[in-house]
Chains A and B, each alone.
Chain A
């Protein structure tokens, strides 16, 4: 039975089911209170967690997002049930950390990870098209490195406890949220009183949706970056059929919930229409994800099933979020009321370019002649 289920989830109907479920749940989370076109955004939600912990002090983006907790723990539950939980680590963790930092800086320049790019697209935000083209461009560069022998080296099986660190950290975050821990009058946790961080579904709804998605995604290996990479690398359309299902179902769900806006570039919710930096931000994110072997969601699911290297990537992203807001690197949304186009600061531009340079250097220097 277990083996049959495993084969189903590994099949095309399995991945389409996972994409469709995400396509329903994300708009529903928005309906239940999450920010506009942000029913789920792995980068944004990790950034909100960084804010809640005080790793940055951008007052409008601070909240412990239970969706992230659910993603990790849902994957843990699935991996345990199907006997796939396997503690492994040791595949160049410091490089994964750096890739995580720059992936986040790139994603926040665009104002969203690939998941949110798909959801923005599914609600009529045309900047998402620019972002997704950038994402594909970044992945294309990553694929060239992969073809040339780039890899991060082997991981090794290790103590079971190593695999449990990220899941346990997530339980800790959830407890901090439930008990609304406030260390001092002016200390963490921080919760936004306005802006995106203040908009959220009831925590049990968020957690439940996160657990469901984490479970399904662990079984099906749903990955936004992998979808595009597999097409570019070997013409394999397995994973991308999940992305297609996500977008189609999310469009329909948004139409039903009246969340589908007028298709346009300017003035979209929590988005800017500075095209070059939407493109380059996502190109950086795509390259970093490709070099690290997974999109931000996939890294959470891997961390949930015992992959200590993916866990380091997640910590890199959370650190990157702190840096992005402390150094004013993240994108500012368009100001629709005053007709001002948003974008990123000169520091943000410098950081995106630096990230691209670092990723290219990583791609060039970590190659080995693959023996077959």
Chain B
């Protein structure tokens, strides 16, 4: 059961803050839901910087990023 971070509707930097908190908690895999390409790229960059592997899945109007370590 993946740990889910629902960052939909939040603007920067909230999606990144929430993702970082989840990474620190260390409960992998983590699924991050975001709505904008900006948030997708910001979360991807932040997660990769913290050593995670990021997979992106586009679903209708939003993105699901799966973070593993």
Contact = CB atoms under 8 A, between A and B. Distances in A.
Interface string B25-55: 1000000000111100110011001000000
Interface stretch (A103-111, A120-128, A152-160): A152-160
Interface in B7-22: 8-14, 16-18, 20-22
Contact of B10 (A6, A147, A151, A226): A151
A10 interface: yes
A230 B49 CA distance: 13
Interface residues of B, number: 26
Interface in A136-153: 146-147, 151-153
B37 A229 contact: no
A91 interface: yes
A77 interface: no
A156 B42 CA distance: 20
A56 interface: no
A220 to B, nearest CB: 10
A238 B45 contact: yes
Q: Is the interface of B mostly helix, strand, loop or mixed?
A: helix
Contacts, number: 63
B13 A146 contact: yes
B45 A372 contact: no
Given A91-B9, A154-B10, A370-B21, 9 more contacts: A155-B9, A156-B9, A157-B35, A157-B61, A226-B12, A234-B46, A302-B11, A370-B18, A372-B22
19 contacts: A6-B37, A10-B45, A86-B36, A86-B61, A88-B35, A154-B9, A155-B9, A155-B11, A157-B61, A226-B12, A229-B13, A230-B13, A234-B46, A236-B45, A293-B11, A293-B13, A294-B12, A302-B11, A370-B17
